[in-house]
């Protein structure tokens, strides 16, 4: 018996065949599109998103590829990816080594974005997280070699917070200092100015996307000394503070040059003696 | 082809349309080319004269399917575009704005010139299926999926922002329409055109076959119309039936008006109730004995 609405079973048959054919065709087309999308949607590590960009997965759902952020960037930092580049077609990005972000105070790129792909909640450019600078190659960084280049440190818009110079002993010369550029991720915006200005032919400091640049501590890890500071007392109540063991004389103990002398410790004596009678 | 009209009159709407397409492109290009900023952005999203936001509603819909609620500006922009096309006819986008249209038009012109066979002709509903597929892929991948391959934005964004290999997609559409399938892209597959066709079920601007009584079956309009199936009900309708081309597939391109030497067609509004008697069968050159 023909289903209601169909003149004959032949009509119904044709309808069903046609529908099945369409559905199959669309399944194929959809699968092709989906696999192309997932491949073309990967972001290379050198491509940085504009300030305020949502996390990459959300960004690809949000950005309409209109290019208004590109138009309103006064420094021509941003470009829209064209086919042939490794970035999702039409989405905005920048390459730190080419033109970094100048961290405009009024963040015109975010203000221009109509879709919210650049989060309008970003009102202080200092809170931007486009990536994190990492001193990737201490073997070539001039400061790490003991010279005074300091360029990345000087150009950093968040100088002395995002990058500091940490004084270290220079074991090569034995009596000089190394002023090692150290990035503090909490303050680094990933603007890329340091990478852009590194004087070497290939930058030794590079801005990397957060997921490459940063590790993540396990949820249950606690740093005793931080907990102690927050709490003002040992983390575990009533813990017995045992005396610290110090190395004996003759060792390279900088805290007590000449080493710890057993005589000075009252009735304390080492638990065992080395053969030959030396303590 | 009786009493041919002047060359210019026979191209009136075609020329107007090309000017319109060029005009829409220039609105975006005058900024980067001459520093005269009228429309910023591209067809997927723009700001005109710093006040009027516009967004492609199909992109916004994909964004929603992908799980992102767009910010207000984009939603307002999409609403303005939707309402505008709902009034003038969704597929006016195709004929008067879309930069791919000249490409497929040229492909069709060459196709006719070379007398090529129709080729693969999937059902006209295929594009609707594809439109739904695109939304499903957007939801599954969490991306604005069609924008990874959409030849319209690749071309438009390409012209305004730099094209890279984007022209290969456009060339593919051209070759597809030329050799694989007559009217293949815009007539059967493009999910964007399908989407715009769905906007507004009752657009105000319509073409009417008002003088259908004098039609002599030269078939020129059927040859040139990108959606020839829309012509039949209006043109071949009996006295009393509406001469308006009501199908949402009609792109309001006006080519039928141009090519008809008997001036059967004209632009009008959907409430136009001018009486239009049906065709006088004896006029048909199909029923006449061929000389
Ligand atoms: S903050 Fe300024 S320089 Fe940086 S991307 Fe935005 S507009 Fe361009
Ligand atoms: S303005 Fe926003 S939606 Fe437009 S390209 Fe930039 S990030 Fe994407
Ligand atoms: S990317 Fe470099 S210059 Fe920019 S804030 Fe971070 S450390 Fe400073
Ligand atoms: S069908 Fe698609 S490509 Fe063709 S004119 Fe319409 S929107 Fe443009
Ligand atoms: S019916 Fe006329 S106006 Fe409509 S698409 Fe065909 S040629 Fe164009």
Q: How far apart are CA B251 and CA B231, in angstroms?
A: 12
Question: What percent helix, strand, coil does chain A show, rounded to 5?
Answer: 30, 15, 60
Return the pLDDT at A2.
45
Are residue B106 and residue B217 in the same domain, yes or no?
A: no
User: Ligand 3 centre from A77 Cα, in Å?
Assistant: 15
Q: Which of B206, B186, B181 is nearest to B89 (CA)?
A: B206
Whole-number Å distance, alpha carbon A18 to ligand 5 midpoint, is: 27
Give me the residues paired with residue A83 across strands.
Answer: A85
- Portion 79-138 of B in contact with A at CB < 8 A: 122-123, 125-126, 129-130, 132-134, 136-138
- Residue A96 Cα: closest atom of ligand 3: 1
Residues B211 and B165 in one domain: no
User: What ligand has the least distance to the C-alpha of B96?
Assistant: 4
How far A164 CA lies from chain B's nearest CA (Å)?
A: 38
Whether chain A has a CB inside 8 Å of the CB on B56: the answer is yes
Shared domain check, B221 and B117 = no
Say if B149 falls within a structural domain.
Answer: yes
pLDDT at B288 over 70: no
Question: Which of B172, B199, B226 is the last residue in one of the domains?
Answer: B199
Instruction: For residue A64, give the nearest of B55, B140, B164 by CB distance.
Output: B55
Of A18, A64, A80, Cβ closest to residue B74: A64
For residue A168, the cross-strand partners are A178
Measured between beta carbons, the chain B residues lying within 8 angstroms of A63 are: 144
B105: enclosing H helix or E strand: helix B100-113
CA distances from B20 to B23, B39, B155, B173 (A): 5, 15, 17, 22
CB A144 within 8 A of CB A179: no
**pLDDT tens track for B84-117:** 999 998 899 999 999 999 999 999 999 999 999 9
- Please give the pLDDT value at position A269: 53
List helix spans (H) across A41-124.
Answer: 56-62, 68-72, 108-112
Contact A93, A152 (CB under 8 A): no
Domain co-membership, B132 together with B264: no
Question: Which residue is associated with the tokens 């930058």?
Answer: A203
Decide: B173 in ligand 5 pocket, CB within 6 A: no
- B71 phi, psi to nearest 5 deg: -70, 165
Same domain, B240 and B97: no
pLDDT tens across B117-146, in order?
Answer: 988 988 888 999 999 999 999 999 999 999
Identify whether the C-beta of residue A96 lies closer than 8 Å to the C-beta of residue B74: no
- Is A64 close to B143, i.e. CB distance below 8 A? no
Residue A128 near residue A103, CB atoms below 8 Å: yes
Q: Give the pLDDT of chain A (279 residues) as one tens digit per residue.
A: 444 566 778 888 888 988 898 999 999 999 999 999 988 878 899 999 999 999 999 999 999 999 999 999 999 999 999 988 889 999 999 999 999 999 999 999 999 999 999 999 999 999 999 999 999 999 999 999 999 999 999 999 999 999 999 999 999 998 899 999 999 999 999 999 999 999 999 999 999 999 899 999 999 988 888 888 888 877 777 777 776 666 655 555 555 555 555 554 445 555 555 666 544
Q: Which residue of A has its CA nearest to B163?
A: A82
At B291 the pLDDT is 46
Token pair belonging to A113: 């974005």
Closest CA to B74 of A116, A210, A118: A116
Which residue stretches of B66-99 are H helix? 72-88, 92
Note the ligand closest to the C-alpha atom of B85: 4
Contacts of A32 in chain B (CB under 8 A): none
Burial label, B18 (beta-carbon count in 10 A; 0-12, 13-18, 19+): middle
Contact B150 CB / ligand 4 (< 6 Å):
no
Chain B residues within 8 A of A38 when measuring between CB atoms: 141
ipTM: 0.89
Shared domain for B231 and B143, answered yes or no, is: no
| Cα angle: B36, vertex B41, B47; to 5 degrees | 75
Q: Is residue B283 situated within a structural domain?
A: no
Ligand 5 centroid vs B257 CA: distance in angstroms? Answer: 8
Give the residue from chain A lying closest to B45, CA to CA: A66
pLDDT digits (tens, 9 = 90+) for B146-192: 999 999 999 999 999 988 888 899 999 999 999 999 999 999 999 99
Q: Within 10 Å of residue B24's Cβ, how many Cβ atoms?
A: 17
How many Å apart are CA B143 and CA B138, to the nearest integer? 5
E strand or H helix at B53: strand B52-55
Share above pLDDT 90 across residues of chain A, in percent, rounded to a whole number: 62
CB of A54 closer than 8 Å to CB of B138: no
Give the mutation candidate from A40, A56, A114, A117 for the B interface (greatest B CB count, under 10 A).
A114
C-beta neighbour count of A163 within 10 angstroms: 24
Give CA separation, A205 vs A195, A223, B186, in Å: 5, 28, 50
A3 vs B117: CA distance, rounded Å: 37
- For ligand 1, whether the C-beta of A50 sits within 6 Å is yes
Please count the structural domains in chain B.
Answer: 2
What is the distance between the alpha carbons of residues A268 and B3, in angstroms, rounded to a whole number? 124
Determine, yes or no, domain membership for B21.
yes
Q: Which CATH number is B215's domain given? A: 3.30.70
Q: Which atom of ligand 4 is nearest to the CA of B173?
A: 3
Identify the residue with better confidence: A244 or B269.
B269
Interface check for B163 against chain A (CB to CB < 8 A): the answer is yes
Do B62 and B100 belong to one domain?
Answer: yes
Q: Is the pLDDT assigned to residue B194 strictly greater than 50?
A: yes
Q: pLDDT band at B281, cuts 50/70/90?
A: low
With b for 16 or more beta-carbon neighbours within 10 A and e for fewer, the A43-65 pattern comes to beebbbbbbbbbebebbbbbbbb
Residues 6+ apart with CB under 8 A from A22: B123, B125, B126, B129
Q: How far is CA B201 from CA B44, B54, B90, B100, in A?
A: 23, 21, 9, 24
B206-223 residue pLDDT tens:
999 988 988 888 999 999
Q: Is residue B264 part of a domain?
A: yes
More confident residue, B250 or A261: B250
Provide the 10 A C-beta neighbour count for residue B153. Answer: 28
pLDDT tens digits, B4-47: 677 788 889 999 999 999 999 999 999 889 989 999 999 999 99
B86 lies in the same domain as B217 = no
B42/A contact by beta carbon, under 8 A: yes
Rounded to whole angstroms, the Cα distance separating A131 from B226 reads: 50
Strand partners, A208: A132
At A261 the pLDDT is 52
B30 CB near a chain A CB, below 8 Å?
no
User: From CA B169, how far away is CA A256, in angstroms rounded?
Assistant: 75
Residues B104 and B155 in one domain: yes
Ligand 1 atom at minimal distance to the Cα of residue A77: 8
Measured from the CB, is residue A162 less than 6 Å from ligand 3?
Answer: yes
Nearest Cβ partner of A61 from B66, B122, B126? B66
The residue of chain A with its CA nearest to that of B141 is A34
Q: Output the pLDDT for position B124.
A: 87
Q: Tokens at residue A89, please?
A: 């077609």
Identify the pLDDT of residue A15.
87
Ligand having the closest approach to the CA of B252: 5
Give me the sign of the Cα torsion angle A15, A21, A26, A27.
positive
Tell me if B144 and A64 make a contact (CB, 8 A cut-off): yes
Count of all residues that appear for chain B in the document: 291
Which of B141, B171, B190 should one mutate to test binding to chain A, selecting the residue with the greatest count of A CBs within 10 A?
B141
In a domain, B275, yes or no: no
Together in a domain, B86 and B141: yes
Question: Domain for residue B176, yes or no?
Answer: yes
Handedness of CA A55, A114, B72, A63 (dihedral sign): negative
Query: For residue A11, what is the DSSP state?
Result: H
Kindly state whether residues B189 and B256 are assigned to the same domain: no
Asked if the structure places residue B177 within a domain, the reply is yes
Q: Which of residues 60-89 of B touch A (CB under 8 A)?
A: 60, 63, 66-71, 73-74, 77
Q: Determine the Cα–Cα distance for residues A224 and B95; give it in Å rounded to an integer.
A: 70
CA torsion B261-B265-B268-B273 (nearest 10°) is 130
Q: Which ligand is nearest to the CA of B267?
A: 5
Whole-angstrom distance, CA of residue B200 vs CA of residue A117:
29
- The per-residue pLDDT for A256 is 55
Cβ neighbours of A22 in B, within 8 Å: 123, 125-126, 129
Residue B61 shares a structural domain with residue B165: yes
Q: Range of B220's domain?
A: 205-269
Option in B70, B129, B142 nearest A115 (CB):
B70
Residue B179 inside a domain? The answer is yes
CA distances from A104 to A71, A73, A100, A157, A177 (A): 14, 9, 11, 11, 35
């Amino acid at each position: 018996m023909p289903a209601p609405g169909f003149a004959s079973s032949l009509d119904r048959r044709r309808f069903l065949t046609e529908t099945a054919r369409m559905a199959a065709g669309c399944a194929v087309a959809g699968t092709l599109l989906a696999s192309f999308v997932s491949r073309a949607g990967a972001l290379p590590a050198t491509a940085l998103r504009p300030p305020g960009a949502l996390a990459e997965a959300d960004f690809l759902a949000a950005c309409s590829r209109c290019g208004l952020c590109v138009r309103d960037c006064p420094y021509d930092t941003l470009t829209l990816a064209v086919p042939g580049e490794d970035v999702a077609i039409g989405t905005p990005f920048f390459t730190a080594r080419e033109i970094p972000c100048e961290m405009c105070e009024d963040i015109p790129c975010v203000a221009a974005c109509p879709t919210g792909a650049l989060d309008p909640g970003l009102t202080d450019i200092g809170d931007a997280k486009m990536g994190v600078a990492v001193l990737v190659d201490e073997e070539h960084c001039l400061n790490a070699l003991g010279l005074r280049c300091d360029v990345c440190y000087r150009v950093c818009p968040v100088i002395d917070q995002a990058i500091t110079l940490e004084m270290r002993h220079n074991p090569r010369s034995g009596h000089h200092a190394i002023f090692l550029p150290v990035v503090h991720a909490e303050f680094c915006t990933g603007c890329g100015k340091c990478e852009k200005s590194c004087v070497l032919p290939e930058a030794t400091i590079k801005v990397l996307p957060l997921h490459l640049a940063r590790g993540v501590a396990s949820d249950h890890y606690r740093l005793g000394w931080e907990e102690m500071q927050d709490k003002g007392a040992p983390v575990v109540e009533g813990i017995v503070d045992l005396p610290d063991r110090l190395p004996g004389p003759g060792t390279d103990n900088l805290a007590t040059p000449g080493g710890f002398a057993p005589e000075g410790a009252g009735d304390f004596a080492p638990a065992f003696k080395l053969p030959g009678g030396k303590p | 082809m009786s009493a041919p009209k002047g060359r210019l009159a026979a191209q009136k709407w075609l020329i107007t349309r090309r000017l319109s397409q060029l005009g829409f492109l220039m609105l975006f290009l005058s900024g980067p080319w001459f520093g005269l900023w009228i429309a910023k952005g591209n067809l997927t999203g723009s700001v005109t004269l710093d006040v009027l936001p516009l967004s492609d509603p199909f992109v916004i819909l994909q964004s929603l399917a992908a799980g992102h609620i767009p910010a207000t500006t984009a939603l307002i922009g999409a609403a303005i575009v939707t309402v505008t096309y709902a009034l003038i006819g969704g597929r006016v986008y195709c004929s008067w704005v879309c930069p791919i249209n000249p490409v497929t038009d040229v492909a069709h012109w060459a196709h006719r010139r070379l007398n090529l066979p129709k080729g693969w002709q999937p059902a006209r509903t295929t594009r609707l299926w594809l439109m739904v597929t695109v939304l499903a892929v957007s939801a599954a991948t969490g991306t604005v999926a069609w924008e990874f391959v959409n030849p319209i934005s690749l071309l438009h964004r390409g012209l305004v922002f730099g094209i890279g290999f984007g022209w290969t997609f456009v060339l593919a559409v051209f070759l597809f329409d030329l050799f694989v399938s007559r009217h293949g892209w815009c007539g059967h597959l493009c999910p964007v055109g399908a989407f715009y066709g769905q906007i507004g079920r009752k657009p105000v601007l319509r073409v009417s076959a008002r003088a259908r009584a004098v039609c002599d079956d030269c078939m020129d309009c059927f040859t040139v119309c990108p959606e020839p199936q829309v012509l039949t009900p209006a043109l071949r309708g009996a006295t009393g039936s509406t001469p308006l081309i009501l199908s949402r597939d009609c792109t309001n391109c006006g080519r039928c008006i141009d090519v008809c030497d008997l001036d059967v067609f004209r632009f009008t509004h959907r409430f136009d109730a001018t009486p239009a008697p049906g065709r006088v069968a004896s006029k048909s050159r199909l029923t006449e004995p061929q000389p």
